[in-house]
Structure 1
C-alpha cells in the first residue's frame, strides 16, 4: 500500500481553505443580519443594505453546501 502524500496534502490544504472561507462568509452573514437590530430605527438604509448582504452570504453558504452534496453524490 502506497500513500500519495502530495495528493493528501493538497486535499488537506483545499479543505482547510474552503472551511475557513465558508465559516468567514457565514460569520459575515450573521453580523450583517444582527446589525439592524442593534441600531434600531436610526440606520434605515444601512440596515437594508446589511440585511441584503447577509442574505447574499447565506445564499453563498447554501450554494457551497449544495455543491458539496452534489459532488459527493455524483460519483
Structure 2
C-alpha cells in the first residue's frame, strides 16, 4: 500500500479505528497550505515538515513506519480502505 500525503494517512488510520489528534489535524492543514503554493514556494518549504520538528507526533511516525514496512497490515485491510 502506498500513502503519500498526510491526509491519506489520516483517512487510513481512521479506517483502522485510530483516533487522530488535533495536532495532526493542524499539521495536515499546514501541509495543504504548502501544497497549494506554486512549485518554487513548495520547494522552499519542503523542510518545514521534517519529523524532528514535530516531536509530539511520535505515535504517528510509528504508525507511518508500520504502513511503510507492512508490519501488521493484511493486504485485504488496505484494499478495504480503498
The answer to whether TM tops 0.5 is: no
Query: More relative contact order in 1 or in 2 (CA 8 Å, sep 6+)?
Result: 2
The TM-score with structure 2 as length reference comes to: 0.29
The TM-score with structure 1 as length reference comes to: 0.31
